[in-house]
C-alpha cells in the first residue's frame, strides 16, 4: 500500500493515480486524467473478481464503464452546470464526488488518501443538492447536516433528461424534470405504471408525479423511488455486454440473454421480462428501450446476479415529441432505439404472447387520456389522439396474439 501512496502522482502532470473501490475493497489502481476526468487505464488490478461486470478480467473496459455512468454530453444544460460547478467535463464533475453514485457501490479514492465508504456513500449519508437546482432548473433549497463539499449523486447518473436525486421521507428518489412537450414524458411514466398494475405485473418502478416550478411555470415531473440499495447494484444490459463479443450468428437480443445466463441469471426469468417489455412498450409506442434502459440487479456482498431490474424509463413514448397529425401516424411504422430498428420487428422475439391479458385493458386508453388531461396543459384533441394510438396498438397486439405476423404490415398476414 505504501508503494502506491508514494507513486500517487505520475510524471504526467494531468495524470493521477486513484484506487477504484467497491465499498471498502480496493479493486484496482487506475490512472485518471484529473482535468478531463477520464479514466485512462487500469495500472494494476488487485481484485479481478470484484471489477464491475463487463469490464474484463484485466479491467480493459473500465474507461467505457466510467463514461457510461456520467451525465452524457448530450444532456441539455450540461455546460451551464459545469460552469456553475467550476468543472471542465462531465467526467471531472463525477470525479469531484469521488464517482459515488446511487446506482452501484463503486467509487474512486485518490491514491494518497484514506477514505471510507461509511463516511461518504449516498445510501446512508444525506446529501445536499445545491447544484441539483442547476441540473434541473428547479427552485429548491439545500439540506442541512448533509455531506460537505457539494458531493452529489446527481453527477453520476446517466440519461438525457434533466434529473437529480432527492430524499423524500428518508427514501432516495430520482426526480426527472422537463418543461418540453407539455411535460408529457413524466405523465407517460405514470401511464406505464397504470398499465403494469392492470396487467398484474409487479416488477416495475412506481413513478409518481410532482409539480416543479421551472422559470416561473409549474410542470409535472416524475419521481421514482430508488430500485437499487446498499445491497443491490444496477448493471445495465449495456454494461453487461461491454466485454462480450457478440457471435456473428447471434442477434443482440439473444446475445444479451446468453450473457445474462452465463452470468448466472435464470433464462426463463430474463425472457419473460424482455418479452413483457417488448409487448407493453409496443402498446405505449415506447421508442427508447435501449440497453441502458434495462438491466439486472447484482448482490454486491454475496456476488451474484439476483434478478432483473424492474421495468423503468418509459417516458419516451406515446409520440411525446410529435407535434401534429398524431391520428395519421402509421402505428406499424415506428422506428425505435432498441434491439431492432423497427418497433414491429421486436415482436418476432416474443414467444409467449399470451402472458398479457388484454381484456384487462378495456378502458385503458381512456384512463391514459384522462391522466394526460389531469396533469398537463395539452390540448384535449392531442390527448384524445394519443388515446387513439393506444387503442390502435392494442388492436394490433390482439391480432399478434391470434397468430398474425403483424410485422408484415397488413399485406401478408
Ligand atoms: N429509480 C431508480 N433507481 C435506481 N437507479 C435509477 C432509477 N431510475 C433511473 N436510474 C438510473 O439512472 C439512469 C437514468 O435514468 P432514466 O433512464 O430514467 O433517465 P432518462 O434520462 O429518461 O434516460 P434516457 O436517456 O434513456 O431517456 C438509469 O439508466 C439507471 O442507471
Ligand atoms: Mg434512460
- Which of 150, 177, 204 terminates a domain? The answer is 177
User: Is there a domain that residue 198 lies in?
Assistant: no
Ligand nearest the Cα atom of residue 72: 1
Nearest CA residue ID for atom 10, ligand 1: 103
User: Is there a domain that residue 226 lies in?
Assistant: no
Is 165 in contact with 173 (CB distance < 8 Å)?
Answer: yes
Nearest CA residue ID for atom 15, ligand 1: 159
Distance 408 CA to ligand 1 centre (A): 33
The residues, ordered by sequence, that sit 6+ positions from 80 with a Cβ below 8 Å of its Cβ are 134
User: Is there a domain that residue 217 lies in?
Assistant: no
Instruction: Residue 324: give its domain's CATH number.
Output: 1.10.1070
- Which of 143, 160, 177 terminates a domain? The answer is 177
Coil/strand/helix, residue 177? strand
Name the one residue in this structure whose C-alpha cell is 488518501.
113
What pLDDT was estimated at residue 342?
A: 97
Distance 243 CA to ligand 2 centre (A): 21
C-alpha torsion 132→168→204→246, nearest 10 = 30
Measured distance CA(157)–CA(113) in Å, rounded: 25
Sheet holding 217-225, edge to edge: 162-168, 171-177, 217-225, 208-214
Is 186 in contact with 375 (CB distance < 8 Å)?
Answer: yes
Nearest CA residue ID for atom 23, ligand 1: 159
Ligand 1 closest atom vs CA 205: 1
Distance 313 CA to ligand 2 centre (A): 5
Ligand 1 closest atom vs CA 185: 22
Coil/strand/helix, residue 99? coil
What pLDDT was estimated at residue 8?
A: 45
Indicate whether 21 and 92 sit together in one domain.
yes
Indicate whether 164 and 252 sit together in one domain.
no
Indicate whether 295 and 380 sit together in one domain.
yes
User: Is there a domain that residue 239 lies in?
Assistant: yes
Indicate whether 163 and 260 sit together in one domain.
no
Count of structural domains within the chain: 2
Around Cβ 215, how many Cβ atoms within 10 Å?
9
> Grid coordinates representing 25?
475493497
Nearest CA residue ID for atom 9, ligand 1: 174
CA triple 149-151-157, angle to 5 deg: 160
User: Is there a domain that residue 18 lies in?
Assistant: yes
Indicate whether 154 and 239 sit together in one domain.
no
Residues 403-406: contacts with CB within 8 Å, 24+ apart?
406/332, 406/344, 406/347
Indicate whether 25 and 100 sit together in one domain.
yes
Task: Calculate the CA 16 to chain-centre distance.
Answer: 30
Is 125 in contact with 67 (CB distance < 8 Å)?
Answer: no
What pLDDT was estimated at residue 14?
A: 87
Indicate whether 399 and 321 sit together in one domain.
yes
CB within 6 Å of ligand 1 — which residues? Answer: 103, 157-161, 174, 176, 205, 224, 226-228, 234, 236, 288, 292-293, 312-313, 315-316
User: Is there a domain that residue 35 lies in?
Assistant: yes
What pLDDT was estimated at residue 215?
A: 82
Name the one residue in this structure whose C-alpha cell is 405485473.
201
Indicate whether 296 and 171 sit together in one domain.
no
Ligand 1 closest atom vs CA 228: 4
Ligand 1 closest atom vs CA 163: 21
Ligand 1 mutation pick, 174, 180, 187, 310, max ligand atoms within 8 A of CB: 174
Measured distance CA(91)–CA(36) in Å, rounded: 6
* DSSP string across 283-328: HTT-----TTSSEEEEETTTTEEEEEPPB----S-TTTT--S-GGG
Measured distance CA(222)–CA(314) in Å, rounded: 11
User: Is there a domain that residue 213 lies in?
Assistant: no
User: Is there a domain that residue 218 lies in?
Assistant: no
What pLDDT was estimated at residue 136?
A: 85
Indicate whether 365 and 269 sit together in one domain.
yes
Q: The pTM is what?
A: 0.94
* Structural domain boundaries, residue 397: 232-408
Nearest CA residue ID for atom 5, ligand 1: 103
Indicate whether 31 and 163 sit together in one domain.
yes
Q: What is the total residue count of the chain? A: 413
Indicate whether 12 and 158 sit together in one domain.
yes
Per-residue pLDDT of the chain (413 residues; tens, 9 = 90+): 333 333 444 445 689 999 999 999 999 999 999 999 999 999 999 999 999 999 999 999 999 999 999 999 999 889 988 988 889 999 999 999 999 999 999 999 999 999 999 999 999 999 876 667 778 876 655 544 455 557 899 999 999 999 999 999 999 999 999 989 999 999 999 999 999 999 999 999 999 999 988 888 899 999 999 999 999 999 999 999 999 999 999 999 999 999 999 999 999 999 999 999 999 999 999 999 999 999 999 999 999 999 999 999 999 999 999 987 888 899 999 999 999 999 999 999 999 999 999 999 999 999 999 999 999 999 999 999 999 999 999 999 999 999 998 888 766 66
Q: Which helix (H) or strand (E) holds 38?
A: strand 38-45
Measured distance CA(122)–CA(165) in Å, rounded: 10
Indicate whether 156 and 50 sit together in one domain.
yes
- Which of 159, 177, 195 terminates a domain? The answer is 177
Ligand nearest the Cα atom of residue 175: 1
Amino acid at each position: 500500500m505504501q508503494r502506491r501512496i508514494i507513486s500517487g502522482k505520475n510524471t504526467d502532470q494531468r495524470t493521477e493515480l486513484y484506487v477504484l473501490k467497491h465499498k471498502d475493497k480496493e479493486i484496482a489502481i487506475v490512472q485518471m486524467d484529473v482535468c478531463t476526468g477520464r479514466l485512462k487505464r487500469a495500472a494494476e488490478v488487485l481484485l479481478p473478481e470484484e471489477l464491475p461486470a463487463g469490464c474484463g478480467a484485466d479491467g480493459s473496459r473500465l474507461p467505457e464503464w466510467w463514461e457510461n455512468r456520467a451525465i452524457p454530453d448530450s444532456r441539455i444544460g450540461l455546460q451551464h452546470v459545469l460552469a456553475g460547478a467550476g468543472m471542465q467535463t462531465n467526467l471531472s464533475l463525477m470525479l469531484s464526488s469521488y464517482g459515488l453514485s446511487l446506482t452501484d457501490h463503486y467509487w474512486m479514492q485518490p491514491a494518497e488518501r484514506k477514505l471510507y465508504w461509511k463516511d461518504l456513500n449516498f445510501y446512508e449519508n444525506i446529501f445536499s443538492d445545491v447544484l441539483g437546482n442547476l441540473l434541473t432548473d428547479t427552485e429548491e433549497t439545500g439540506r442541512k447536516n448533509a455531506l460537505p463539499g457539494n458531493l452529489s449523486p446527481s453527477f453520476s447518473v446517466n440519461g438525457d433528461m434533466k434529473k437529480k436525486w432527492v430524499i423524500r421521507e428518508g427514501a432516495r428518489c430520482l426526480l426527472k424534470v422537463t418543461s418540453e412537450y407539455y411535460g408529457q414524458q413524466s405523465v407517460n411514466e405514470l401511464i406505464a405504471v397504470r398499465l403494469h398494475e392492470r396487467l398484474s405485473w409487479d416488477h416495475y418502478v412506481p413513478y409518481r408525479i410532482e409539480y416543479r416550478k421551472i422559470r416561473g411555470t409549474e410542470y409535472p415531473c416524475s419521481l421514482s423511488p430508488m430500485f437499487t440499495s446498499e445491497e443491490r447494484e444496477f448493471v445495465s444490459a449495456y454494461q453487461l455486454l461491454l466485454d462480450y463479443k457478440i457471435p456473428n450468428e447471434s442477434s443482440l437480443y439473444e446475445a444479451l440473454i446468453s450473457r445474462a445466463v452465463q452470468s448466472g441469471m435464470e433464462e426463463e426469468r430474463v425472457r419473460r421480462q424482455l418479452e413483457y417489455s417488448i409487448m407493453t412498450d409496443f402498446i405505449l409506442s415506447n421508442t427508447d428501450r435501449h440497453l441502458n434502459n434495462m438491466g439486472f440487479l447484482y448482490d454486491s456482498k454475496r456476488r451474484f446476479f439476483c434478478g432483473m431490474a424492474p421495468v423503468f424509463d418509459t417516458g419516451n413514448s406515446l409520440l411525446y415529441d410529435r407535434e401534429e397529425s398524431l391520428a395519421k401516424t402509421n402505428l406499424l411504422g415506428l422506428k425505435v432505439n432498441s434491439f431492432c430498428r423497427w418497433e414491429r420487428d421486436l415482436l418476432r422475439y416474443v414467444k409467449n404472447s399470451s402472458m398479457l391479458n388484454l381484456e384487462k385493458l378495456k378502458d385503458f386508453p381512456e384512463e391514459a387520456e384522462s391522466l394526460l388531461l389531469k396533469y398537463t396543459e395539452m390540448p384535449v384533441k392531442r390527448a384524445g389522439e394519443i388515446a387513439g394510438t393506444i387503442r390502435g396498438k392494442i388492436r394490433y397486439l390482439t391480432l399478434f396474439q391470434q397468430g398474425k405476423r403483424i410485422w408484415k404490415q397488413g399485406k401478408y398476414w
